[in-house]
Amino acid sequence: MDLDPVSLTIVTYPDPILRQKAEPIGEITSTIRAVGEKMIELMHQADGVGLAAPQVGLSWRMFVTVISQDKQAETIPGRIYINPEITIENRELAILEEGCLSLPDIRGDIRRSIAVTLNALDPDGNPFSMTDDDFMSRIWQHELDHLNGVLIIDKMNPMDRIAVRKALKELDATTIKG
């Protein structure tokens, strides 16, 4: 694969890759592991808590997150999830404000399931399963949306959508200027 993980950067709206449904990862190669490590680095540089492969221009079903809400206390820099799937545990929903590293200056209230179970492969190809009903649950759902081409602007209520209209237009204009 002709891909240098070092050269990856975070892509922003309206890059069309953010709207594609990402492809499952087959064999987990050293390149894929290196991309995961680079994504963790980019996530921390941008002061984010999660980052999905389409956000670095790769239409792969992979994302990374911090390990816990207390980033300062972390000894492990981040976690890599390959081919992740989410099962919703019950009907309970919660609303919380979210931002997105691919949508600078845009924030909005997003309704999501509270308790979910995540199944994925780690970078060695081993399956793992985690359940959460708090901070990580919300990040997993946000990042999984990215793998399906879904952004927070699609899930905002009409009031928030109107409020961010100007910021979205500016992002569009920035891209056209190159």
As annotated, the active-site residues are 143
Beta-bridge partner residues of 107: 99
Cβ-contact 156, 96 below 8 angstroms? no
Q: Which is nearer to Co ion, 51 or 121 (CB)?
A: 51
Closest approach, Cβ 48 to Co ion, in A, equals: 8
* Other Cβ atoms closer than 10 A to 132: 16
Distance between CA atoms of 170 and 85, rounded to whole angstroms?
Answer: 34
Cβ-contact 134, 116 below 8 angstroms? no
Q: Which is nearer to Co ion, 100 or 171 (CB)?
A: 100
Q: Is residue 100 close enough to count as binding Co ion by CB under 5 A?
A: yes
Q: What is the dihedral of CA 151, 155, 158, 164, to 10 degrees?
A: -30
Closest approach, Cβ 75 to Co ion, in A, equals: 25
Q: Which is nearer to Co ion, 66 or 100 (CB)?
A: 100
Closest approach, Cβ 129 to Co ion, in A, equals: 23
Stretch that binds Co ion, among 70-78, 95-103, 109-117, 126-134 (CB under 5 A): 95-103
Stretch that binds Co ion, among 11-19, 70-78, 87-95, 99-107 (CB under 5 A): 99-107
- Structure tokens given for 133: 């009903």
* Other Cβ atoms closer than 10 A to 33: 16
**Binding region for Co ion (CB under 5 A):** 100
